[in-house]
Structure 1
Amino acid sequence: MLALAPAGVLGREDQLWMNRLEAPMAFKIRRVGHLVLRVKDIERSKRFFQDVLGFPVVAQNDRGMVFFSTDVKDNHHMLALIPGKESANMPTPDQIGMEHVSFELGSFAELQDAYRTFKEKDVKICHTVFHGISKSVYFNDPDGNMLEVYCNVPAEEYRKSVSNPYSRYGSIDEELEGKSPQREGTVAP
């Protein structure tokens, strides 16, 4: 059985939904291993992922690929960049394919730091949102791929304020800027 929360934390409807996920399989996917992005300018994208998101380069290869990881003991690489053709079309918001990829942060304070860094480095912020289960900042990389950084909101907190923890409940710009405190039922550690 797929376990998202300790026993007793899930509500009745959540538990019924989780029970439907049980399916016998001969294999079990453990996690998303890594993401590979094809980019127009490998050096520009390398600087973006190093300087804006703090990803350390762990390797490069003879094909021009660059590999990044924040924890090589646990994951040899989380992200890789591969050179694309300069004449290739940029992604558009409505095209079929990857919508975005997200990176988890450890706290709301880290999310605020990321938001400030993006502002200082003129990163295009698409939007911010409280989802119930998380607080997120969505932004674009130099090739127009949408990325997300987020911090989790504990279940005991979001259950105070939302009926569906997988929805959108408005912008959190003012919280990220420190202009207003985190609202009751949305407090992320």
Structure 2
Amino acid sequence: MIEGLYEAHLPVKDLAISMEFYKKIGLKMAWKDEDTAFFWIEENKSWVGLWEGGEYQTPYHPSLRHIAFRVSYENMKNALTWLQSLQIEVVPFGKRTSIEPFVRPHQGNASVYFNDPDGNSLELMCSIEVPDAYKHMTNKLSLEEWEELLTK
């Protein structure tokens, strides 16, 4: 099921300074929003997420205790079954209530989340091909909704 590392996260004090550093060492920008930036380690395979902000003073933040493992899209479709067969509880991401794997068209990936025994956030994640017409979409879609959209 797991093919490699998809992402790791790091907290940063100043996003602009950190972005310049990661560009300098040769990493290519994947995407950015107001307080995060992602750089490809291996394009479409693995990236590092840089997170800026004062919330790093709290005991937990995803950038401090989070790893995403790379899986294929076909394995993503079976991720819930696989995790449940291992008696691993799947958890919702952020404000979502569903535990189903979901697609982020604007980032070109799909994910499902779970925790290890120590409460570290783990994720199965895969890259997806996104047609230009959907690259602007920031809403999260279930795999079923995504596949239905692609057939239109």
User: Under a length normalisation based on structure 1, what TM-score does the superposition of the two structures give?
Assistant: 0.39
The higher relative CO (CA closer than 8 Å, separation ≥ 6) is in: 2
Q: Tell which structure's C-alpha radius of gyration is larger.
A: 1
User: Under a length normalisation based on structure 2, what TM-score does the superposition of the two structures give?
Assistant: 0.47
